[in-house]
Amino acid sequence: MSLNLQELPPNPMELFNSWYDQAKSNPSILDPNKMCISTINKEGFPELRWVLMKYHDLEKIRFFTNTKSAKASQIELNNKIGVNFIFRYEDYFRQVRITGYADACDTKHADDYFATRSRGSQIGAWASNQSEKIYDRSTLDRQYNYYEDKFKDKTVPRPQDWSGYNIVPNKIEFWQSGKHRLHDRFVYERNQDQTSWVIYRISP
């Protein structure tokens, strides 16, 4: 099943949505919403880690995290971000590679999503100062117990330093494995009008 320029939609997020929906409906693909995101640290090195995409539409994708974490501090200094998804099927692979800009999402969206998390994960968000040094495991467990007690019989509110980021792509590459390593690769780049996209094929 090769990809053809004539069949590609004008908006890359339409293609992303259809690839993602296919991956989601395939039980052999674990966590199809996992994505590896790259930000640049103070020394200029790229740092990568996996996060979970929790929302996407035709404009953006969103993930949630601690807003004092290493990744969040890096985004604050430089909001250019790299994102990579992999969807692996029985007989072929797909990869989606994105560059774009990350910006804090509305607190309402963070509140709404936080409310859907399990109580344990909500308390965990209070207990962990993500990316900060801690002395030992029991320090973490103590903090968890402290907040479990503090919020006993109460709704757990969203911590101020836990929220989401929207990623708005400016370039997306769709890669699909092909026979003899002759993969299909199509790149979408935003035109200067910021609304339409130029699409071209690149060599594997």
Ligand X SMILES: Cc1cc2nc3c(=O)[nH]c(=O)nc-3n(C[C@H](O)[C@H](O)[C@H](O)COP(=O)(O)O)c2cc1C
CB of 145 to ligand X, least distance (A): 22
> In the complex, what is the shortest distance from the CB of residue 30 to ligand X, in angstroms, rounded to a whole number?
9
Nearer to ligand X, 65 or 176 (CB): 65
Q: Are 123 and 147 in contact (CB under 8 A)?
A: yes
* Residue closer to ligand X, measured from CB, 22 or 130: 130
DSSP assignment, residue 5?
A: G
Q: Which of 62, 181, 185, 201 is catalytic?
A: 181
CB of 114 to ligand X, least distance (A): 12
Nearer to ligand X, 100 or 124 (CB): 124
Measured from the CB atom, the residue of 88 and 185 that comes closer to ligand X is 88
CA–CA dist 26, 85 (Å, integer): 15
For the bound state, the minimum distance from the C-beta of residue 81 to ligand X, rounded and expressed in Å, comes to 12
Q: Please, is 168 exposed, middle or buried when counting C-beta atoms within 10 Å of its C-beta (0-12, 13-18, 19+)?
A: middle
Q: Count Cβ atoms within 10 A of the Cβ of residue 68 and give its class: 0-12 exposed, 13-18 middle, 19 or more buried.
A: middle
Q: Cα torsion for 31, 33, 34, 40, to the nearest 10°? A: 180
Rounded to the nearest 10 degrees, the angle between the axes of helix 137-150 and helix 119-127 is 120
Does residue 158 have an active-site annotation?
A: no
- Tell me which residues touch ligand X (CB under 6 A): 31, 34, 47, 49-52, 63-65, 69-71, 130-131
What are the catalytic residues? 181
